[in-house]
Amino acid sequence: MISMHIGWNLKFFFLLDGDRQGKEEKKRYIAEYGIPPDRIGTIDELRPEVTQIEDLVDKDALDRIEKELKLAKSPTKAQIKRFFQERLAMSKVDDLGPAFRERAGAILDALAAKLT
């Protein structure tokens, strides 16, 4: 995917987790694929208190996902991923609470700024 975006000269921004692995991958993608440093970043660079995408999902949001998926306990990382994939496929937006809305909105605003 990276090669296609570069080859087609598309406007893009690759966002990685801000953990150790994400930071290593960022360096590797810049070195191996020639991604301009202003076109790749880690989520913690946009929002310092967020290291991984899952950090956007607070207790209230987890409870809402658990209820929506009819789970007996808090959702796993895989179940959270499935929840968002299904909602994306259905073009459905569920309210996951004010904290999630604020955190996710801040990330989306920062990404939009990177693409302008």
d(CA 27, CA 56): 24
How confident is residue 30, by pLDDT bands cut at 50, 70 and 90? very high
What integer pLDDT is reported at residue 6 of this predicted model?
A: 67
* pTM (two decimals): 0.77
What integer pLDDT is reported at residue 4 of this predicted model?
A: 67
Percent of the chain with pLDDT over 70: 93
User: Domain of 77?
Assistant: 2-114
Percent of the chain with pLDDT over 90: 66
Q: Is the dihedral of CA 37, 19, 44, 110 positive or negative?
A: positive
| Residue 31 vs residues 11, 36, 39, 41, 51: alpha-carbon distances, Å | 19, 9, 13, 14, 23
Tally of structural domains, the chain: 1
| Cα 55 off chain centre by | 10
How confident is residue 34, by pLDDT bands cut at 50, 70 and 90? confident
Instruction: Please check the confidence at residue 5 and state whether its pLDDT lies above 80.
Output: no
pLDDT digits (tens, 9 = 90+) for 42-56: 999 998 988 988 888
d(CA 65, CA 57): 10
Instruction: Please check the confidence at residue 2 and state whether its pLDDT lies above 80.
Output: no
